């Protein structure tokens, strides 16, 4: 298991997570329903082009994997 140092954790707590991780967190909150589409859209509109690409790729990956899970569930019934 990989871990972070206390200094790294303290830095992230006080200064915030690195931007790429923030994008991932925003997408995950949207994907699990913790954030609404309106909230996600507000964050998305503030992203840089690179951050938007990260978010778009993640949303597509989550959507595809969710569709596989849904299809498997339907087949098992």
**Domain boundaries defined on the chain:** 6-76
pLDDT of residue 74: 85
Tell how many helices (H) and how many strands (E) occur in the chain: 4, 0
The pLDDT tens digits along the chain (77 residues) read: 999 999 999 999 999 999 889 999 999 999 999 999 999 999 999 999 999 999 999 999 999 999 999 999 888 87
* Global pTM exceeds 0.75: yes
Give residue 73's pLDDT. 86
């Amino acid at each position: 298991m990989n871990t972070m140092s206390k200094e790294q954790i303290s830095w992230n707590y006080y200064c915030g997570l690195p931007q790429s991780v923030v994008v991932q967190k925003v997408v995950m909150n949207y994907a699990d329903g913790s954030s609404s589409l309106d909230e996600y859209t507000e964050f998305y509109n503030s992203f840089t082009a690179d951050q938007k690409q990260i978010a778009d790729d993640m949303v597509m990956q989550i959507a595809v994997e969710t569709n596989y899970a849904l299809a498997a569930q339907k087949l098992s019934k």
